């Protein structure tokens, strides 16, 4: 089927759905960042499990219909897929249904960035979200296997009489209660901890005590036990929405990166930071592009192993280790070659062999990968009014402590310089960037609102009565060209600067794509090649842009933009989508055809426009050449890529889509507003694009930041991570020495996650809280009780604690 026909087919369907009648639609978009924390991975698993349950409940709420008596159906009646044990999902579902009385809120996770222990949880949650898979098997994995006795390297494991003097030391601690507590504090109250500490300290020294192979096996088991994707996979992601997973690792040997200076022109440095990237998207036609599927299970397990390779505790992770594991398990690692070529391209381009690379813990250089999440958000589009959040899980936050600032000793100084201080990576710079970005977004919005009356007047005067003419493709093509020329004329000298910035921006984009496509050495080589080509063919310099835009034909830089400027097309479509989102709130009961029909038309048009954005992204993907392209062949390559992208045809496709939509519009006023936004964007872009610093977000949405930690969740029991979690002991290794500790942290992960997610929902739908449709405290109480009831049979070491917590929850 032709792309344009397929994109507009839904406009003819009288059964197009509009699930909300008069209230607003809103999408709560979460970019999740998971910090490192060693054994606090168990705690973070509890949190990510709650996030999965909330997203699953949100999906069910979207699909739910009303009973015949007009009441809301239950979670089970909604027909939700139930791969996990059902407990807190029911409460989230009820919460969202009550919120829906005021605002139709959908929760989507589209970015996950993780380091170390957080990286493991990010990997597992990403696959679960992509294919609606289960995380229940991971409870037993964490509680049973995340134990020092399971992780120790068999060859170095202590035997009965290994280091007998250490055995006598720990035996003494187990006999004298007072000495135990004085020496080890809370750890001394747990006999299992002392026994495991004895085993650990008597095992082989000066070699990694934990087994890398065993860890690889555990990570592969964790991925495979989530279940198979199958031939008809479901997903918790909306169609067309990309899920990005970014996991940090540290390349021990590093690879060469070139840096441009004044003198000398180029220097080299070694880059040790390494990002392992995966993604998932189900396109509008139902096809799936994924690196989280069954063929990628070993790739995901390797990412989890590499990011959590704590220096000194585990041997460095190498691809050969995973090869041995999958060979022994008789697992077919079908996605290996694609994984290596996509995730180790920088090493390959630098002349390094990925097979020789050795990776240690991602938290060594990037323990708090907030910047990765911020960068990933830049390509995200919202299907509704969006409330964008960056949510970071901090298992052990810094608390205000008083201590004497004496001169640190030798060992304390070395330990602090080599481990503690680098891992205590501040996030202030990232948060200040977001504050500046949000301020920039507000400024852009103010500019748009300020100039909108003028732009509407200019477009109305330009088009006149033609705006009331029947929708027609030919007219739209002509109107679009006229609007572009008039924008250049009316902007006058301001257009000259705008055109130059736009040309340089697109040349930069082309250089980035060319580097990967042509296998050039680095970005500097690519930029030099593109710049030389631009001067050779006349794209540079840009002359009198405002005058040249009026005659357009035969002007090299205009011809270049028509063939290569994908970002302009995407910005224009997103601008129209933003106007659609505003129109939802402007619909009134006397809208011709009724609110429901108008919303259905807007929904269908918006979905089709997103399909066009998806099509543009596909056009922007340049295939990687099998060999390095020589300088003399670059011009021919650029010409072939321009033909492949076919952006002029894409423009006509959008014109056809809009004309077709106009024929089926229930209210011509809506159609008029869409056309004004589409044509008027040429005016807006002259003002806005120079403000965006080229590569700032095309979406004009602020990003709010929320934290999930025990310190922020004190409804059920007050206290900090130091007071509530057990894994914080022994430098965050504590939970590896006691099942009771792991049960405690896992339970508090679920309770913490549930409370903070309710807080986030309340802030995303304040109208539902104000109206009384959403009772925050009652929702938390129900969640606490549901989680405690569900986990009681599994957490046998916490029976007394769970009983006590139930009493406290009932009293809320």
Give mean pLDDT, residues 206-218: 90
Residue in the structure block whose two tokens are 């809120």: 105
Domain residues for the domain of 716 are 24-154+208-397+709-723+798-811
Decide: 55 and 93 in contact? Cβ < 8 Å. no
Beta bridge pairs of residue 104: 25
Q: Which pLDDT does position 599 carry in this prediction?
A: 84
Residue in 95, 59, 50 with CA at minimum distance from that of residue 78: 59
Decide which of 568 and 283 is more confident. 568
Decide: 210 and 151 in contact? Cβ < 8 Å. yes
| Total domain count, the chain | 3
Does residue 51 register a pLDDT over 90? yes
Residue in 671, 669, 647, 649 with CA at minimum distance from that of residue 660: 671
The answer to whether residue 744 sits within a structural domain is no
What's the token pair of residue 479?
Answer: 């109107």
Judgement on whether residues 246 and 280 belong to the same structural domain of the protein: yes
Does residue 162 register a pLDDT over 80? no
Does residue 10 register a pLDDT over 60? no
Q: Which pLDDT does position 526 carry in this prediction?
A: 80
Confidence of residue 805 (pLDDT cuts 50, 70, 90): very high
Q: Which pLDDT does position 175 carry in this prediction?
A: 52
Does residue 529 register a pLDDT over 90? no
The answer to whether residue 288 sits within a structural domain is yes
Confidence of residue 778 (pLDDT cuts 50, 70, 90): very high
Highest-pLDDT range among 149-153, 464-468, 564-568, 779-783: 779-783
Question: Per-residue DSSP letters for 33-45?
Answer: EE---GGGHHHHH
What's the token pair of residue 544?
Answer: 């009198």
Judgement on whether residues 97 and 235 belong to the same structural domain of the protein: yes
Q: Which pLDDT does position 471 carry in this prediction?
A: 82
Judgement on whether residues 255 and 369 belong to the same structural domain of the protein: yes
Tens-digit pLDDT profile for residues 191-205: 777 677 767 676 676
The answer to whether residue 733 sits within a structural domain is no
CA 598, 599, 604: angle at the middle one, nearest 5?
Answer: 100
The answer to whether residue 300 sits within a structural domain is yes
Judgement on whether residues 171 and 268 belong to the same structural domain of the protein: no
Q: Which of 90-94, 453-457, 693-697 has the lowest mean pLDDT?
A: 693-697
Judgement on whether residues 257 and 112 belong to the same structural domain of the protein: yes
Judgement on whether residues 368 and 456 belong to the same structural domain of the protein: no
Q: Which of 162-171, 296-305, 424-433, 741-750 has the lowest mean pLDDT?
A: 162-171
Tens-digit pLDDT profile for residues 164-185: 655 555 555 555 444 545 555 5
Tens-digit pLDDT profile for residues 744-766: 999 999 999 999 999 999 999 99
Q: Which pLDDT does position 339 carry in this prediction?
A: 96
Q: CB atoms < 10 A from the CB of 237, how many?
A: 21
Judgement on whether residues 282 and 348 belong to the same structural domain of the protein: yes
Tens-digit pLDDT profile for residues 243-269: 999 999 999 999 988 777 778 888 888
Known catalytic residues are 116, 361
Nearest-angstrom CA–CA distance, 218 and 212:
10
Does residue 9 register a pLDDT over 50? no
Does residue 518 register a pLDDT over 90? no
Q: Which pLDDT does position 110 carry in this prediction?
A: 95
| Buried residues in 556-577 as b, exposed as e (16+ CB within 10 A) | bbbbbbebbbbbbbbbbbbbbb
Decide: 339 and 291 in contact? Cβ < 8 Å. yes
The answer to whether residue 137 sits within a structural domain is yes
Decide which of 479 and 188 is more confident. 479
The answer to whether residue 139 sits within a structural domain is yes
Judgement on whether residues 96 and 149 belong to the same structural domain of the protein: yes
Judgement on whether residues 112 and 197 belong to the same structural domain of the protein: no
For all residues of the chain together, what is the average pLDDT? 84
Nearest-angstrom CA–CA distance, 196 and 155:
17
Phi, psi of 554 (to 5 degrees): 85, 0
Q: Which pLDDT does position 6 carry in this prediction?
A: 37
* Cβ neighbours of residue 56 closer than 8 Å, sequence gap 6 or more: 80, 81, 84, 89, 132, 236
Tens-digit pLDDT profile for residues 327-362: 999 989 999 999 999 999 889 888 899 999 999 999
Judgement on whether residues 145 and 234 belong to the same structural domain of the protein: yes
Q: Which pLDDT does position 164 carry in this prediction?
A: 60
Q: Which pLDDT does position 118 carry in this prediction?
A: 94
Judgement on whether residues 332 and 370 belong to the same structural domain of the protein: yes
Q: Which of 33-47, 96-110, 531-545, 789-803 has the lowest mean pLDDT?
A: 531-545
Highest-pLDDT range among 42-46, 406-410, 470-474, 662-666: 42-46
The answer to whether residue 423 sits within a structural domain is no
Looking at residue 700, the DSSP 8-state letter turns out to be -
The dihedral through the CA atoms of 38, 42, 43, 49 has a sign that is positive
Q: Which pLDDT does position 806 carry in this prediction?
A: 97
The dihedral through the CA atoms of 596, 599, 605, 611 has a sign that is negative
* Cβ neighbours of residue 205 closer than 8 Å, sequence gap 6 or more: none
Judgement on whether residues 546 and 463 belong to the same structural domain of the protein: yes
Decide which of 43 and 428 is more confident. 43
The answer to whether residue 441 sits within a structural domain is no
């Amino acid at each position: 089927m032709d792309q344009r026909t397929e994109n507009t087919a839904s406009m003819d369907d009288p059964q197009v759905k509009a699930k909300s009648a008069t209230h607003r639609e809103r999408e709560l978009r979460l970019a999740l960042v998971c910090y490192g924390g060693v054994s606090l991975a168990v705690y973070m698993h509890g949190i990510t499990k709650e996030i999965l349950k909330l997203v699953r409940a949100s999906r069910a709420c979207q699909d739910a219909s009303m009973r015949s008596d007009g009441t809301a159906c239950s979670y089970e009646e909604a027909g939700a897929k139930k791969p996990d044990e059902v407990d807190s999902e029911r409460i989230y579902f009820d919460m969202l249904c009550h919120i829906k009385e005021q605002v139709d809120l959908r929760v989507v996770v589209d970015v996950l960035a993780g380091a170390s222990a957080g990286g493991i949880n990010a990997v597992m949650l990403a696959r679960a979200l992509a294919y609606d898979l289960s995380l229940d098997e991971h409870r037993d994995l964490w509680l049973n296997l995340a134990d020092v006795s399971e992780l120790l390297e068999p060859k170095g494991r202590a035997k009965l009489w290994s280091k007998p003097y250490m055995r006598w030391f720990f035996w003494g601690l187990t006999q004298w209660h007072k000495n135990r507590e004085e020496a080890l504090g809370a750890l001394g109250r747990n006999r299992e901890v002392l026994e495991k500490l004895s085993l650990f300290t008597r095992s082989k020294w000066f070699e990694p005590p934990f087994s890398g192979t065993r860890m690889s096996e555990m990570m592969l088991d964790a991925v495979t036990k989530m279940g198979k994707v199958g031939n008809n996979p479901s997903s918790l992601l909306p169609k067309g929405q990309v899920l990005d997973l970014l996991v940090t690792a540290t390349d021990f040997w590093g690879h060469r990166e070139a840096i441009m200076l004044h003198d000398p022109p180029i220097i080299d440095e070694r880059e040790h930071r390494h990002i392992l990237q995966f993604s998932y998207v189900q396109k509008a036609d139902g096809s799936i592009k994924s690196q989280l599927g069954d063929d990628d299970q070993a790739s995901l397990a390797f990412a989890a192993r590499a990011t959590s390779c704590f220096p000194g505790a585990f041997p460095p992770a190498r691809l050969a280790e995973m090869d041995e594991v999958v060979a022994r398990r008789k697992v077919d690692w079908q996605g290996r070659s694609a994984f290596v070529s996509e995730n180790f391209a920088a090493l390959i381009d630098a002349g390094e062999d990925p097979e020789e690379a050795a990776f240690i813990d991602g938290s060594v250089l990037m323990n708090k990968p907030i910047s990765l999440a911020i960068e990933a958000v830049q390509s995200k589009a919202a299907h509704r009014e969006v409330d964008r959040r960056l949510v970071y899980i901090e298992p052990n936050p810094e608390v205000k402590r008083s201590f004497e600032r004496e001169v640190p000793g030798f060992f304390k100084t070395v330990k602090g310089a080599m481990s503690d201080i680098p891992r205590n990576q501040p996030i202030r710079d990232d948060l200040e960037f977001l504050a500046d970005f949000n301020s920039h977004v507000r400024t852009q919005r103010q500019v748009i609102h300020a100039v909108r009356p003028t732009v509407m007047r200019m477009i109305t005067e330009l088009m006149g009565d033609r705006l009331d003419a029947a929708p027609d493709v030919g007219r739209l093509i002509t109107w679009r060209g006229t609007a572009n020329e008039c924008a250049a004329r009316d902007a006058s000298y301001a257009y000259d600067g705008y055109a130059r910035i736009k040309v340089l921006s697109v040349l930069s984009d082309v250089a980035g794509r060319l580097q990967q496509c042509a296998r050039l050495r680095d970005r500097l080589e690519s930029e030099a090649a593109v710049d030389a080509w631009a001067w050779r063919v006349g794209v540079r310099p840009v002359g009198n842009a405002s005058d040249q835009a009026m005659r357009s034909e035969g002007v090299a830089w205009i011809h270049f933009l028509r063939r290569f400027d994908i970002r302009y097309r995407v910005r224009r479509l997103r601008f129209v989508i933003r106007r659609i989102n505003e129109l939802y709130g402007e619909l009134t009961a006397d809208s011709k055809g009724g609110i429901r029909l108008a919303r259905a038309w807007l929904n269908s048009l918006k979905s089709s426009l997103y399909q066009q954005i998806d099509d543009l992204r596909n056009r922007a993907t340049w295939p990687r050449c099998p060999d390095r392209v020589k300088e003399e062949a670059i011009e021919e390559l650029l010409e072939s890529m321009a033909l492949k992208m076919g952006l002029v045809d894409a423009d006509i496709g959008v014109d056809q889509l809009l004309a077709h939509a106009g024929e089926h519009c229930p209210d011509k006023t809506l159609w008029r507003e869409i056309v004004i936004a589409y044509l008027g964007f040429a005016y807006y872009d002259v003002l806005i694009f120079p403000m965006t610093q080229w590569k700032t977000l095309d979406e004009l949405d602020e990003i709010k930041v929320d934290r999930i930690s025990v310190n922020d969740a004190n409804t059920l029991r007050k206290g900090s991570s130091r007071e509530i979690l057990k894994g914080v002991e022994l430098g965050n290794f504590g939970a590896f020495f006691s099942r009771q500790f792991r049960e405690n942290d896992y339970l508090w992960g679920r309770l913490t996650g549930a409370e903070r997610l309710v807080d986030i929902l309340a802030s995303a739908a304040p109208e539902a809280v104000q109206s009384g449709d959403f009772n925050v405290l009652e929702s938390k109480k129900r969640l606490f009780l549901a989680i405690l009831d569900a986990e009681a049979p599994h957490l046998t070491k916490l029976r007394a604690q769970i009983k006590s917590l139930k009493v406290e929850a009932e009293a809320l």
